[in-house]
Amino acid sequence: MSRRRKPSIRNAPPTTGKQPRVEGLPDPSGQHPVWSFSIVDVGGPWCFSCLPGKDLPGVLTRLGQLEGMTWTEIEQGTGSHFVPCSRLVAEARRRLQNLHHDDLDELFSLRIKSKPRIWGIRIGPVLRVLWWDPDHQVCESTRG
């Protein structure tokens, strides 16, 4: 009795008319924020090592409060918003270039208090934290 090989199905066409679909990413506006510190700048003028230890509890408390909001609520009620990179001060644009992030069109400015900001790259619900800007120097305010 001889053994018969099973037919190869490697190159066989699919047996059904179904095609795989890739769903688009969900709209992050109704999602809660997630903070990522994997690309945080540790050596520039707005690095997090410049954050005084006495201010850290307030910053962490504020981030915790913002986690309870959606991105829509954050953008509409906290003074946080996207900023085109072309509006950043020259030093910030140079720093982005040094960090190999000069291909970005915009950064997100997350308002912590009246002046202090956290700057990052927002992708979906995740804010990839980049800078600590205690004196609102990364982008000069257009308000008088």
**pLDDT digits (tens), the chain, 144 positions:** 556 665 554 555 555 555 545 456 677 889 999 999 999 999 999 998 889 999 999 999 999 999 999 999 999 999 999 999 999 999 999 999 999 999 999 999 999 999 999 999 999 999 999 999 999 999 977 654
pLDDT in the model for residue 139: 94
Give the number of C-alpha atoms closer than 13 A to the C-alpha of residue 58, restricted to the C-beta side: 13
> Which of these, 136, 38, 48, lies nearest to 88 by C-alpha position?
136
Is 109 strand, coil or helix? strand
pLDDT in the model for residue 78: 96
Assess contact for 111 and 78: CB atoms under 8 A.
yes
pTM (2 decimals)? Answer: 0.80
pLDDT in the model for residue 108: 98
pLDDT in the model for residue 21: 52
